[in-house]
Amino acid sequence: MNVNYDFSIITSVLLSILLFYNLIWPRLPIPRTKSFLVLMIMEVITLAFDILSNWAVVNAESCPDYLIQLTCVIYFTAFIVRSYAFFGYTALLFELVGRGRNEWARKTSRAALAFFLGLTVTSPFTGLVFSFDRAEGYHKGPLHPAIYFWMAVLIALGFLLIIFRGGSFRQFERNSLLSAYAILITGTSIRFLSPRHIAMNSFFMLSTVILFLTFENVDLLLEQRTQTFNYQAFEMVIREYLNSSSSFWMCAVLPRHYQEAREIYGGEQMDHALGLIARYLKKSFPKMPLFYERSGCFLLLCRTEPDRVRVRRLLQERFEKAWLTMDTKVYLSLVYAETARDLKVDSLETFVEGVRRLLDLAGSSARQDYFFLDQEMVDSIRHEFSVRRALNAALSENRVQVYLQPIVDAVSGKTVAAEALARIEDPVIGLVMPGEFIPIAERNGSISQLGEQMFSKVCHLIRDHDLDGQKLQFINVNLSPIQCMDRKLPLFFDEIREKAGVPADRIHLEITEEALGDEELLKSQMEELIRRGFSFVLDDYGSGYANLFRMEEYPFSGIKLDMKIVWNYFQKPTPVLPSTVKTFSSMKIAITAEGVENKEMMESLCGMGCTYLQGFYFSKPVPAETFFENLDAS
| DSSP-H helix ranges across 508-586 | 519-531, 548-553, 563-571, 576-586
Q: Report if residue 616 touches ligand C2E, rule: CB under 6 A.
A: yes
Compare residues 12 and 478 and give the one whose CB is closer to Mg ion.
478
Q: Report if residue 12 touches ligand C2E, rule: CB under 6 A.
A: no
Instruction: Find the part of the chain contacting ligand C2E (CB under 6 A) among 26-34, 100-108, 230-238, 431-439.
Output: 431-439
- Name residue 373's amino acid: L
Contact pick of 425, 597, 609, 622 for ligand C2E (by CB under 6 A): 597
Closest CA to 128 of 145, 114, 141, 137: 141
Smallest gap, in angstroms, from Cβ of residue 294 to ligand C2E?
33
Q: Report if residue 615 touches ligand C2E, rule: CB under 6 A.
A: yes
Smallest gap, in angstroms, from Cβ of residue 479 to ligand C2E?
6
Residue 370 region by backbone torsions, left for phi larger than 0, else alpha for psi between -120 and 50, else beta: beta
Compare residues 183 and 561 and give the one whose CB is closer to Mg ion.
561
Instruction: Decide: residue 327, CB within 10 A, 0-12 exposed, 13-18 middle, 19+ buried.
Output: exposed
Q: Within 504-543, which residues bind Mg ion (CB under 5 A)?
A: 510, 539-540
Q: How many CB atoms lie within 10 A of CB 400?
A: 22
List the single partner that 53 binds among Mg ion, ligand C2E, none, CB under 5 to 8 Å by kind.
Answer: none
d(C-alpha 589, C-alpha 187), whole Å: 84
Q: Report if residue 448 touches ligand C2E, rule: CB under 6 A.
A: no
Kindly report the CA angle at 18 between 15 and 21, in degrees rounded to 5?
A: 145
Instruction: Find the part of the chain contacting ligand C2E (CB under 6 A) among 53-61, 102-110, 578-586, 588-596.
Output: 588-596
Smallest gap, in angstroms, from Cβ of residue 478 to Mg ion?
5
Distance of CA 402 to the CA centre of its chain: 31
Compare residues 273 and 479 and give the one whose CB is closer to ligand C2E.
479
SS3 label, residue 18: helix
464-483 footprint of Mg ion as x/- string (CB under 5 A): --------------x-----
Compare residues 151 and 477 and give the one whose CB is closer to ligand C2E.
477
Q: Report if residue 421 touches ligand C2E, rule: CB under 6 A.
A: yes
| Contact indicator for 335, 365 with CB cutoff of 8 Å | yes
Question: Mind giving me the DSSP string for 126-192?
Answer: H-SSEEEETTTEEEE-TTHHHHHHHHHHHHHHHHHHHHHHGGGS-HHHHHHHHHHHHHHHHHHHHHH
Contact pick of 202, 208, 228, 480 for ligand C2E (by CB under 6 A): 480
Distance of CA 413 to the CA centre of its chain: 51
Q: Report if residue 496 touches ligand C2E, rule: CB under 6 A.
A: no
Q: Within 512-531, which residues bind ligand C2E (CB under 6 A)?
A: none
For 94, 139, 297, 319, the CA distances from 361, given in Å and listed in that order, are 35, 71, 12, 20
Q: Report if residue 600 touches ligand C2E, rule: CB under 6 A.
A: no
Q: Report if residue 173 touches ligand C2E, rule: CB under 6 A.
A: no
Smallest gap, in angstroms, from Cβ of residue 537 to Mg ion?
8
Q: Report if residue 490 touches ligand C2E, rule: CB under 6 A.
A: no
Contact pick of 187, 363, 451, 490 for ligand C2E (by CB under 6 A): 451
| Contact indicator for 614, 593 with CB cutoff of 8 Å | yes
What is the DSSP-derived secondary structure letter of residue 331? P
d(C-alpha 123, C-alpha 132), whole Å: 10
Q: Report if residue 436 touches ligand C2E, rule: CB under 6 A.
A: no
List the single partner that 451 binds among Mg ion, ligand C2E, none, CB under 5 to 8 Å by kind.
Answer: ligand C2E
Instruction: Find the part of the chain contacting ligand C2E (CB under 6 A) among 35-43, 492-500, 569-577, 615-623.
Output: 615-623
| Contact indicator for 249, 285 with CB cutoff of 8 Å | no
For 260, 328, 459, the CA distances from 267, given in Å and listed in that order, are 11, 13, 59
Q: Report if residue 478 touches ligand C2E, rule: CB under 6 A.
A: yes
Q: Which residues bind ligand C2E (CB under 6 A)?
A: 405, 421-422, 433-435, 438, 451, 454, 478-480, 510, 539-540, 594-597, 614-616, 621
Q: Which residues bind Mg ion (CB under 5 A)?
A: 478, 510, 539-540
